[in-house]
Chains A and B, each alone.
Chain A
Amino acid sequence: MQILVAVNTEPYSNLAVDQVARLAANTNAKVTILGIAQGKHNRAKRQTSLPANLEIDDALQGAIGEYRDRFVGHFARSVQMPFESGPEAPGIRLCMGNASKEILSESRELESDLIVLGCDDANGCTWNNAQEVPRQIASEAYCSVYIAKKDTAVDRVVCCLGHEEISQQSLEMVSQFVTLYGARLQMVGLLERGELKSDIEKKLGWLISYYGTKKIEPWVEVVEARKFDDFVASEARYALMALWMGKEALLRRIFSKAKMSRLVKTSESSALVLR
């Protein structure tokens, strides 16, 4: 699994790095830390080491070094060493310019499975004070996105399913997040005019069996599509909302980009968009 963690010099990036390290501890994930400096678009990158000639401010360069040490430090403290040869150092990339564009472009280039970024949740989940980077990434990325917030009382991972095609990577991600939070897994099926489509019902049954083999006992709930907004509003307070947004997904039709932005902005807990 390829994980891209986008960081800047703000404290919320620590949280993103910590969550990625915890995720990577249980998977064979290859992690890349993408540092983004504010300034004119001037892309220049170098993997695994800090660039020498790039005009990036000292604060970001220092922060990137700290994030890398922080990431590796998790593995040193971990009882479960994921790799026989020790933790693989994360790749490092640096860039300047429009953060959203850079993150999306970088994730495509690296063929990332998951983009992780923190945000200032005390200030409407912003990035560098005013930008709405997390919301744009959640809505526009081609791969899965995890917006890490300071979770207080997450007791469930609520996975909303509106279609039957689910990637193996996203199944694994859900399982990792359940373990990460020590939370209950709740699968949500969407009803259309009171009916649960037979393929969705079968998929829910299959998911119960799938996670059962991993010693996870999911609970199932169904929600009428037209009441989905109310459902999200009531659940996002205590749960990590994980939305499966496939190309043909019912969720994509009923949960617009604007609603996604609102979820990212207002949710008290982290948000996971699965693709």
Chain B
Amino acid sequence: MITTLISVDSSLASQIALRYCCQMAKMVSMDIRSIHIEKNSHGAAAPGTGWVRQTWESSTMETARDEIVNLVEALPSACPISKVPKLAMGDPDEEICHELESGRYDLFVEGMLHNFDPTSFCERIRTRRFYQSACPVLLVKNMPAFRQAAFLLTPGERPGPLADAFRKLFPKDAMKIDLIEVQHVPGLATVSAKRHRHDENSAALADTAMDADIAGQFINQGWTLRHHKQVGELAETPVLLRNYSLVASYLPREFRRRDPLLKVLNQVPTANLLCCSS
């Protein structure tokens, strides 16, 4: 049973994330609990103090709860999600981190609309609820059919912990898995994908897979993503990544805006499964 916490509001991104979870629950046994954090409105937006403030806050929370209850009621009845969300007012990072620590969750889910520009993606995964999460984080962007997943690694990264996290969430035969290595070539600005035949995969990639004892088990095929300066090949990375219902990777250790890994992760149109590397 995967105990899942999903952060929801009335946005389209949340609706898609909820539907993704319900679809996922058809594959694995899940207990989905929703949480909504109403941002603390210290300052200009907060009307008055004392009773006025309290009345405004409870009215705001009630409206939010009703909106979310309506969203949940629109989901298939078989979806194992709590009908009433957990509500709190405050800082979303703080409240969600606290809930994740105290609730022993296996997975945290959040929705985000797929954005052509990587800035908002970078900002999102820099939040504390992502990089301090006690469990893997699933960032849902679109609703795909669950067919194929990929592990996206940089040279030297071991897929072991990622594979362990993945195994805990999905049954062995749930999806085919590709292994994608992102290579960094300094000085080249854009990113492209180059497909290699299975027998042409880099030795490092094969070794990494072998080390983790997953090569023969469920790795489907290997790819290498390289940074390339030919703009004409720019579209190939998105084309490759579009094939996957989910791309799993470690959360980047550094958040440089122009980090090519972040660019590649942003180009995943379906869902990113993000785990801490240690």
Residues of A within 8 A of B (CB): 155, 189, 191, 194, 196, 201-202, 204-205, 208, 217, 219-224, 227, 230-231, 234-235, 237-238
* B235 pairs with A223, CB closer than 8 A: no
In whole angstroms, how far apart are the Cα atoms of A196 and B239 in the complex?
A: 25
Within 8 Å of chain A (Cβ to Cβ): is B269?
Answer: yes
Interface residues of B in 186-205 (CB under 8 A from A): none
In whole angstroms, how far apart are the Cα atoms of A186 and B78 in the complex?
A: 28
* A196 pairs with B235, CB closer than 8 A: no
If A219-B142, A220-B142 touch, does A231 touch B116 (CB 8 Å cutoff)? yes
> Closest 6 interchain pairs by CB?
A219-B142, A223-B116, A221-B114, A222-B113, A205-B12, A231-B116
In whole angstroms, how far apart are the Cα atoms of A220 and B143 in the complex?
A: 9
* B113 pairs with A196, CB closer than 8 A: yes
If A205-B15, A235-B235, A237-B235 touch, does A224 touch B116 (CB 8 Å cutoff)? yes
Main DSSP-derived SS at the A contact region: mixed
Within 8 Å of chain A (Cβ to Cβ): is B115?
Answer: yes
In the bound complex, residues from chain B placing their C-beta under 8 Å from that of A191 are: 115
Interface residues of B in 95-134 (CB under 8 A from A): 113-117, 120
Residues of B within 8 A of A (CB): 11-12, 15-16, 113-117, 120, 141-145, 234-235, 238-239, 242, 269-270
Q: Tell me the smallest distance from the CB of B118 to a CB of chain A, in Å.
A: 11
* A189 pairs with B113, CB closer than 8 A: yes
Most buried by A among B113, B120, B144, B238: B113
B235: which of A194, A204, A234 is its contact (CB, 8 Å)?
A234
In the bound complex, residues from chain A placing their C-beta under 8 Å from that of B235 are: 234-235, 237-238
In the bound complex, residues from chain A placing their C-beta under 8 Å from that of B242 are: 155
In the bound complex, residues from chain A placing their C-beta under 8 Å from that of B113 are: 189, 196, 220-222
For B270, give the chain A residue with the smallest CB separation. Answer: A219
* B115 pairs with A223, CB closer than 8 A: yes
Q: Tell me the smallest distance from the CB of A68 to a CB of chain B, in Å.
A: 39
In the bound complex, residues from chain A placing their C-beta under 8 Å from that of B116 are: 221-224, 227, 230-231
Apart from the given pairs A155-B242, A223-B115, 15 other A-B contacts in the complex at a CB distance below 8 Å: A155-B239, A191-B115, A194-B120, A196-B113, A204-B12, A208-B16, A219-B114, A220-B113, A221-B269, A222-B116, A223-B116, A227-B116, A230-B116, A234-B235, A234-B238
